[in-house]
Amino acid sequence: MQKLMVTGGAGFIGSNFAHMILEKYPDYHVLVYDKLTYAGNPENLRDLNDNPRYTFVHGDIADAAKVDETVQTYGVDAIVNFAAESHVDRSIEEPGGFIQTDVYGVYVLLEATRKFGLERFLQVSTDEVYGAVLSGSSVETDLLQPRSPYSASKAGGELQAQAYYVTYNTPTLVTRGSNTYGPYQYPEKMLPLFITNAIEDKPLPMYGDGMYVRDWMHVLDHCSGIDLVLHKGELGGIYNVGGGNERHNIDVTYAILDRLDKPRSLIHYVQDRPGHDRRYSVDTTKLRTLGWEPQVSFEQGLADTIDWYKNNDQWWGKIKSGEFAGYYAKMYEQREILSKHE
Ligand code: NAD
Ligand code: TYD
């Protein structure tokens, strides 16, 4: 397995993964295949442009002819699929694009894997497929109860991978990662949105009561989990990947404001997201038995990430003044403000 096709590799986690693989495996070639949607950013990969072991192909995973041509032309050995529409709030506004990429696109990649006899297909999925977990932690055999158009489309994608393994013996693997944070995350997600808004002295739109719980994981830990499953996972297997850092949104927000020395009065409690999952929590025993454990503490990872956004305002400033500005106006300007933090 030397030629990896990293689909969605121009996005947040995929670009971090491409860098990690090139550094860790000196004999590997990474081919990033990406549609460059609003979330795909060539800047995330710019430092790789002169690397002879890196190739970029502009393409859509739902375009079977292009996928097939790419796999054949470059002699791809394995696919790791990060490509997705990835934001819950956008899925509530426009679910159709999620079905096209997160469901149909996965089918196209599975067909290519099967047709060309690739060694591995790893589908990067999410802990959100379990639905809200009010107590305890999800294990891989738990029922999937997705509750947003995003999580339902991700469940559709990974279920196909599982079915291909059973039906055609296609060598598939699935990882279910928890909320990921770190450098190069598009500022629509809570953490980079709140960090960059706070830097700009803009309000932080806190959904509902702020008592929602997410299990935060640094992107490098997520990538090392995916790498391990790709190389050591049992074919047909499903693996939870989670940071083990369950935090209430309000506490994460206080930590951001404190580090940036900004007042809590920036917090505006706003109208909640429909169907907002109260809590996610994954049990990572299965992956840990393969030898994985997260390396980055939440406190250190958050501090480093805040510093990265402080030092890279050109990266996110460009994004926020582009496509993002229209999105933000549409999503937030009409959102009712319920109260302001004192
Ligand atoms: P992202 O939105 O930052 O990046 C998605 C990438 O996929 C972009 O580069 C985009 O251009 C590309 N893409 C979108 N549609 C495409 C298509 N049809 N064909 C080819 N490329 C396409 O997402 P992310 O946060 O890096 O997430 C990566 C993957 O990890 C996703 O599958 C997501 O569901 C999963 N995941 C994310 C998190 C998280 O907290 N961010 C947690 C668990 C799992
Ligand atoms: P998000 O980053 O969208 O990830 P996900 O919904 O996939 O977990 O949101 C993380 C948490 O932050 C979630 O509970 C929703 C909340 N949130 C806000 O309170 N305000 C916001 O503006 C956003 C984007 C999210």
Pocket test for ligand 2, best of 207, 252, 335, 336 (most atoms within 8 A of CB): 207
Average pLDDT over residues 176-185: 98
Q: How far is CA 272 from the centre of its chain?
A: 22
pLDDT of residue 323 exceeding 90: no
In ligand 2, the atom with minimum distance to the C-alpha of 86 is 7
H or E element, residue 269: strand 267-270
Q: b or e along 305-315 (b: 16 or more beta carbons within 10 Å of the residue's beta carbon)?
A: bbebbeeeeeb
Give residue 179's pLDDT.
Answer: 98
Whole-angstrom Cα distance, residue 219 to residue 124? 13
Q: How far is CA 92 from the centre of its chain?
A: 17
Distances (CA, A) of 328 to 187, 270, 289, 322, 335: 10, 14, 42, 10, 11
Whole-angstrom Cα distance, residue 183 to residue 308? 6
Q: Which of 33, 54, 150, 181 is catalytic?
A: 150
Convert the pLDDT of each residue in 195-247 to its tens digit. 999 999 999 999 999 999 999 999 999 999 999 999 999 999 999 999 999 99
**Residues near ligand 1 (Cβ within 6 A):** 7-8, 10-14, 34-37, 39-40, 60-62, 82-86, 101, 105, 124, 126, 154, 177, 179-180, 186
In ligand 1, the atom with minimum distance to the C-alpha of 62 is 18
Convert the pLDDT of each residue in 134-149 to its tens digit. 999 999 999 999 999 9
Q: Quote the percentage of the chain above a pLDDT of 90.
A: 97
Distances (CA, A) of 157 to 70, 117, 149, 172, 316: 21, 20, 12, 12, 30
User: Count of CB atoms within 10 A of residue 258's CB?
Assistant: 11
* Residue showing tokens 């279910």: 176
Convert the pLDDT of each residue in 72-123 to its tens digit. 999 999 999 999 999 999 999 999 999 999 999 999 999 999 999 999 999 9
Whole-angstrom Cα distance, residue 332 to residue 189? 13
Residues contacting residue 230 through CB under 8 Å, at least 6 positions apart: 78, 80, 120, 122, 173
User: For the whole model, what pTM was predicted?
Assistant: 0.98
Residues contacting residue 315 through CB under 8 Å, at least 6 positions apart: 43, 184
DSSP state of 49: T
Residues contacting residue 164 through CB under 8 Å, at least 6 positions apart: 110, 113, 114, 121, 170, 172
Convert the pLDDT of each residue in 33-79 to its tens digit. 999 999 999 999 999 999 999 999 999 999 999 999 999 999 999 99
Nearest Cα to 9, choosing from 293, 106, 20, 153? 20
